[in-house]
Amino acid sequence: MMRGMAEKRSWSDLPARSKVLIVIASLVEIVVTGVALRDLKERPASSVRGPKLLWAAVCFVQPVGPVSYLVCGRRRGN
């Protein structure tokens, strides 16, 4: 094996704590993405900074996309 490269491990090789953390992080990503996409769908275009289609695509860039939309993509006060 090359120096500096991490050895690949399969799911069954991971400790139980790591598995739980991965599952929780995945669920959080799914929920945040769903919330962002639902908000984007229901929000009028005038209340979104930029094109809605672009923000929809950005929401699939994990994990920063949906958070970016929720923090920066929505206009306040409309």
Q: What is the pLDDT of residue 5?
A: 64
Q: What is the pLDDT of residue 7?
A: 76
Overall pTM > 0.85: no
Q: What is the pLDDT of residue 77?
A: 67
Q: What angle do CA 41, 46, 55 make, to 5 degrees?
A: 45
Residue for token pair 């699939």:
60
Q: What is the pLDDT of residue 20?
A: 97
Residues of the chain with pLDDT under 70: 1-5, 77-78
Q: What is the pLDDT of residue 63?
A: 87
